């Protein structure tokens, strides 16, 4: 889907990757619009009840990408004023936007209320009072949900696990009931929903089901206190295949079935989902050029022009991403580290990795780079950020220009 080798040459849809790399230069992120659309439709069709897909913009916040989903009816899960700005610019309907995050400032809260988003997902009672104050100053009622931390182990990498008691996210399950009672007393708050998100790259659907059942039970208890919900937001987290030998995520159909089963007593409540990685992860590659080869004692290095500033997942989480030359069948396989130009030992894309060798000047594709790739990139070592390209059938378009030297010093003074 989207990416395939034809006669040993990599294509994105109908476009040869080499043509884009030569035209746009490297490093470059290349996305398949068709893949994004197919993933969205798959997710959408898996649910049989009333639902809203609010794309987690943090996974890939390029305007064209967000707009691709907006055209399919998507909403957005946002975590900052900047992401809300992007979502609105990309034509997402405000009524389909949910705002997560533990540290929303009053300025961000004001921007969200003024733009009439669906709801603010609150992560503490301090935040509840801040939202009430801001709404009061605007003479409005703010629609809110609490993000409940259900203390369920998502069995994923600790850095992307969010639903355990020890994590900073959400209101502890045991305190959520009282938090809603407090919210009910406030004049400028409208209780709209309940939310949870237990982690990312989930490869087992049981924790999602367990968390859903806990949250459904909380909703039942609150109903007895006269608190009704218009939306239940189950967050994101559905995993994807990075490593074909190891990763076996549940199908979206199983995921949807379990969530629907857990909330079957709340059929009239809008089900909100916040998928990120599932929609875009396998829909992007990062293409990088081999600069040099090097051997230190008995270790081979392929040195490329993309560093951890361009794609940090391998360095940050030890994440696996498949790497292949964009032209295969030319060289012997070697075992090597694929490393970048950054002055850090952690600057690698792969370690002790078996790959078909490539000559200096050849291109490599790093697969599954569509989520948390470009959005996590930085200017570390004063490196300009990569370009982003979207392929659509036989055509491609630069959807973000490569940064230049002037971009690097924008806003700075001597």
Ligand X SMILES: Cc1ncc(COP(=O)(O)O)c(C=O)c1O
- Interface residues with ligand X (CB under 6 A)? 56, 59, 77, 100, 197, 200-201, 235-238, 274-278, 371
What are the Cα distances from residue 60, in Å, to 96, 126, 282?
Answer: 18, 30, 12
Residue whose entry in the numeric block shows the structure tokens 């009282």: 178
Instruction: Please confirm, yes or no, whether 343 is among the known catalytic residues.
Output: yes
C-alpha span between 111 and 101 (Å, rounded): 15
Pick from 380, 388, 310, 402: which is nearest to 348 by CA?
Answer: 310
Q: Which is nearer to ligand X, 55 or 111 (CB)?
A: 55
Q: Which is nearer to ligand X, 150 or 235 (CB)?
A: 235
Compute how many other C-beta atoms are within 10 angstroms of the C-beta atom of residue 248: 11
Q: Which is nearer to ligand X, 201 or 368 (CB)?
A: 201
Residue 267: CA count within 13 A, CB half-sphere: 4
Q: Which is nearer to ligand X, 31 or 278 (CB)?
A: 278
Give the chain's length: 414
Output the smallest distance, CB 102 to ligand X, in A.
Answer: 10
The conformational region for residue 297 under phi > 0 = left, psi -120 to 50 = alpha, else beta, is: left
Output the smallest distance, CB 44 to ligand X, in A.
Answer: 15
Output the smallest distance, CB 195 to ligand X, in A.
Answer: 8
Q: Which is nearer to ligand X, 150 or 237 (CB)?
A: 237
Which position among 52, 273, 336, 343 bears the catalytic label? 343
C-alpha span between 272 and 199 (Å, rounded): 16
Token output for 280: 């875009």
C-alpha span between 232 and 92 (Å, rounded): 20
Output the smallest distance, CB 236 to ligand X, in A.
Answer: 3
- Under DSSP, the state recorded for 124 is S
- Name the E strands within 167-322: 171-172, 189-195, 231-233, 270-273, 284-296, 299-304
C-alpha span between 6 and 15 (Å, rounded): 11
Q: Which is nearer to ligand X, 255 or 396 (CB)?
A: 255
Output the smallest distance, CB 351 to ligand X, in A.
Answer: 24
Output the smallest distance, CB 211 to ligand X, in A.
Answer: 13
Active centre residues (catalytic): 343
């Amino acid at each position: 889907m989207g990416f395939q080798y034809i006669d040993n040459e990599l294509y994105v849809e109908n476009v040869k990757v080499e043509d884009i790399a030569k035209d746009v230069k490297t490093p470059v992120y290349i996305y398949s619009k068709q893949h994004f659309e197919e993933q969205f439709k798959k997710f959408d069709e898996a649910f049989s009840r009333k639902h809203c897909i609010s794309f987690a913009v943090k996974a890939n916040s390029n305007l064209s990408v967000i707009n691709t989903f907006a055209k399919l009816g998507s909403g957005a899960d946002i975590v900052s004023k900047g992401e809300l700005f992007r979502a609105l610019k990309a034509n997402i309907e405000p009524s389909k936007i949910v705002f997560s995050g533990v540290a929303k400032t009053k300025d961000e809260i004001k921007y969200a209320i003024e733009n009439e988003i669906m709801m603010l997902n609150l992560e503490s009672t301090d935040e509840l009072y801040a939202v009430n104050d801001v709404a009061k100053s605007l003479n409005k009622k703010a629609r809110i949900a609490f993000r409940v931390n259900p203390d369920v182990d998502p069995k994923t990498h600790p850095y992307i696990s969010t639903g355990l008691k020890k994590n900073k996210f959400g209101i502890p399950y045991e305190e959520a009931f009282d938090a809603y009672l407090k919210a009910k007393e406030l004049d400028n708050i409208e209780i709209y929903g309940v939310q949870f998100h237990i982690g990312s790259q989930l490869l087992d659907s049981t924790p999602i089901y367990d968390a859903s059942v806990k949250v459904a039970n909380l909703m039942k208890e609150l109903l007895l206190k006269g608190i009704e919900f218009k939306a239940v937001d189950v967050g994101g987290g559905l995993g994807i295949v990075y490593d074909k030998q190891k990763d076996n995520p549940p199908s979206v159909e199983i995921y949807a079935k379990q969530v629907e089963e857990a909330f079957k007593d709340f059929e009239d409540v809008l089900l909100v989902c916040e998928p990120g990685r599932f929609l875009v992860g396998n829909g992007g590659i990062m293409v990088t050029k081999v600069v040099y080869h090097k051997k230190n004692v008995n270790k081979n290095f392929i040195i490329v022009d993309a560093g951890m500033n361009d794609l940090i997942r391998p360095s940050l989480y030890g994440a696996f991403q498949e790497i292949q030359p964009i032209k295969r069948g030319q060289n012997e396989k070697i075992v090597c580290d694929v490393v970048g130009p950054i002055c850090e030992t952690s600057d690698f894309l792969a370690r002790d990795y078996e790959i078909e060798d490539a000559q200096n000047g050849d291109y490599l594709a790093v697969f599954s780079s569509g989520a948390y790739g470009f959005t996590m990139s930085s200017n570390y070592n004063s490196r300009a950020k990569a370009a982003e390209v979207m392929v659509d059938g036989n055509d491609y378009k630069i959807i973000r220009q490569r940064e230049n030297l002037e971009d690097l010093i924008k806003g700075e003074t001597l």
